[in-house]
Amino acid sequence: MLVLGIGLFGVFLFCERFINLGRYLFVGVKIHASITFLGTGQGSFVVGRNLLSSGGFVIQLDENQFHVDPGPNALKNAAQNNINPRATTALLVSHSHLNHSNDVNAVIDAMTYSGFDRKGVLVANKAAINSDENNLAVLRPHYRDFLERFIVLEAGQRVGINDIEILALKTKHAEQSAVGFKFFTPYFTLSYSSDTRYFPGLIEEYKNSNVLILNVPYLGKEDAKDNLCIEDAIRIIKEVNPRLAVIQHFGIKMVKGDPLYQIREIQKATKVQTIAAKDGMVIDLLSYAVEQGQRILHFSSQKKEKEAQDELNTGKEEKIAGKEAGEEGKRVPEQPEAKEMEEGLHPEQPKQEEADEKAGGGGRETDEQPGQETAEEIIEEADMETAMEDSGKTEDAAEEDILKSNEPLRDILKDD
C-alpha cells in the first residue's frame, strides 16, 4: 500500500508539471507583476494583539514567485489571498527575528510537499542559516534537504534566479548580518529596506529604484534606535525619488498615530506618490515600470509592429520620391540651343556684332559645319514646299512668290 501510495503521488506530481507545461505552450505566459502584503505590523504590541499581521509580502513576476520575510501566519495569510505556496520560486529572509522568519520552515514544507518534491531556493542572511553566538539559525537541518539549494548573502553580494537579479543591501540593525534586498527585473527595480536605522550611505543603496518599500515602525527620532522613523523616510524618499514609495511594518505608535495621515504628510513633503500598506493589499507593479521596461513588456509584438510601421513609412517616402523624380524626368528642360534657334542664331555661331567686326563691316560670317543648315535655310525650304504644293507652280515661280511675301528673307538672300 505504501508503494502504491508513493506511486500515485509521483503520478500526481508528473501530471501537475505536465499541465503547467501545457499551459505555457498552448496558452502562453501572461505578463504579470504584483506584490501582495501578507502582513504589515511590527512588534508584540501590534502582532501579538492581532492588530496587524506579519506574514511578509509576496512578489509575483511572470512565472516567478518570491516570498519575502515570512513571519507568523505567513501560510494562513497566503491562503486567504489565493497565493499558492507550491508556486514559490524562492524564499528570502532579511534576518532571523521572528516577525521576519518565523514561518520559513512551514513555507518550505508546504512548497515541497514535505520534501517529496524537492524544489525552491532559500536566500537569507548569515544568521538565518548558520547559527552564531547571538543567534540561532532559523532554517532547521531537517528542512535543508527539502530545497534545491540555500544561499547565504552578505551586503553587496548578488544572486540570479531565472531572469531576476537580487542584490543584498547594507543595513544597521541589532542583528549585525541583516540585509535588505534590491530586485532587478526586466520591467522595474524594487528595493526593500528591511529593518535598519538611518546611516550615511543608506540612500545610495536605494538609488535608481522604481518602487521603494520602507519599514517605518516609529513616528519620532527618539524611538528610532534600530529602525526608521517618519523623518528618515522623508529624507530617503526625497533623495531616491522613486515612482512609488510604500510604507509598512508599523509599530504601535504608528498605528495609534493613523498611518494614512502620516503617509499624507510624507507625500506632501516629498512630492512622491506614497501609500501605506495594508494586510492583503495588492499593487500592480507594472504600473510603476520604467518606460524602457514597458517597451520591453510587449517584447516582440510592439517592437515588430513599430519596425513594420517604420519600414512602411520609409517605403512610402521612397515611392513618393521616385514618383517626383519620374515627373521631373518627363519634363523637357528648356535648352539654350532651342532658345537661340528661335532668335535665328546657332549656339556656336558668333554674335552679329562680332562677325561684322571680323569681316570689316562686310556681310555676316558664320562658323557653320559642312552639311549643317541654318535656321533661315530650314524656314526657306519649308515655305518653298508649302507654296509648290498649294499652287502647283515650279520651283522658280514658288520662290518668287515667297520672296514677294517675305521681304526680310528676300533681303537676306540678295545679300548672299
d(CA 144, CA 82): 26
What integer pLDDT is reported at residue 314 of this predicted model?
66
Where does a domain end: 242, 276, 298?
298
What integer pLDDT is reported at residue 133 of this predicted model?
80
Q: Where are the alpha helices (DSSP H) in 61-207?
A: 74-80, 98-101, 104-111, 126-129, 141-144, 202-206
What integer pLDDT is reported at residue 299 of this predicted model?
36
DSSP state of 371: T
Query: Is there a domain that residue 118 lies in?
Result: yes
Q: For residue 154, what are the domain limits?
A: 29-298
| 172 shares its domain with 99 | yes
| 64 shares its domain with 130 | yes
The total number of residues shown for the chain amounts to: 416
Higher pLDDT, 394 or 205: 205
Query: Is there a domain that residue 18 lies in?
Result: no
| 285 shares its domain with 386 | no
pLDDT tens digits, residue range 48-103? Answer: 898 999 999 999 999 999 999 999 999 999 999 999 999 999 999 999 999 999 99
Query: Is there a domain that residue 309 lies in?
Result: no
The mean pLDDT value of the chain amounts to 79
What integer pLDDT is reported at residue 131 of this predicted model?
85
136 within 8 A of 126, measured Cβ to Cβ: no
| 150 shares its domain with 249 | yes
What integer pLDDT is reported at residue 113 of this predicted model?
92
| 269 shares its domain with 385 | no
Query: Is there a domain that residue 315 lies in?
Result: no
The pLDDT of 17-32, averaged and rounded, is 53
Lowest-pLDDT choice from 134-143, 197-206, 280-289, 398-407:
398-407
**pTM of the shown model:** 0.66
What integer pLDDT is reported at residue 367 of this predicted model?
46
What integer pLDDT is reported at residue 136 of this predicted model?
87
Lowest-pLDDT choice from 96-100, 183-187, 385-389:
385-389
The pLDDT of 285-304, averaged and rounded, is 56
pLDDT greater than 70 at residue 268: yes
Cell for 196?
535598519
Lowest-pLDDT choice from 110-119, 132-141, 268-277:
132-141
Query: Is there a domain that residue 324 lies in?
Result: no
The pLDDT of 203-220, averaged and rounded, is 96
pLDDT greater than 70 at residue 8: no
Query: What domain count does the chain have?
Result: 2
What integer pLDDT is reported at residue 27 of this predicted model?
46
Query: Is there a domain that residue 16 lies in?
Result: no
| 122 shares its domain with 205 | yes
| 128 shares its domain with 254 | yes
**DSSP element (H, E) containing 233:** helix 230-240
| 294 shares its domain with 172 | yes
| 361 shares its domain with 287 | no
Task: Classify the phi-psi angles of 114: left when phi > 0, otherwise alpha if psi is within -120 to 50, otherwise beta.
Answer: left
Helix, strand, coil content of the chain in percent (nearest 5): 45, 15, 40
The pLDDT of 180-209, averaged and rounded, is 97
d(CA 184, CA 160): 9
d(CA 250, CA 278): 10
% of the chain residues with pLDDT over 90: 57
pLDDT greater than 90 at residue 278: yes
Range from 88-92, 173-177, 319-323, 405-409 that averages highest in pLDDT? 88-92
| 97 shares its domain with 174 | yes
pLDDT greater than 50 at residue 366: no
CATH number at residue 164: 3.60.15.10
Confidence of residue 237 (pLDDT cuts 50, 70, 90): very high
The pLDDT of 251-262, averaged and rounded, is 93
Cβ burial, residue 211 (10 Å; 0-12/13-18/19+): buried
Confidence of residue 395 (pLDDT cuts 50, 70, 90): low
Higher pLDDT, 6 or 141: 141
pLDDT tens digits, residue range 128-148? Answer: 999 888 888 999 999 999 999
| 73 shares its domain with 212 | yes
Query: Is there a domain that residue 331 lies in?
Result: no
What integer pLDDT is reported at residue 362 of this predicted model?
45
| 294 shares its domain with 350 | no
What integer pLDDT is reported at residue 348 of this predicted model?
47
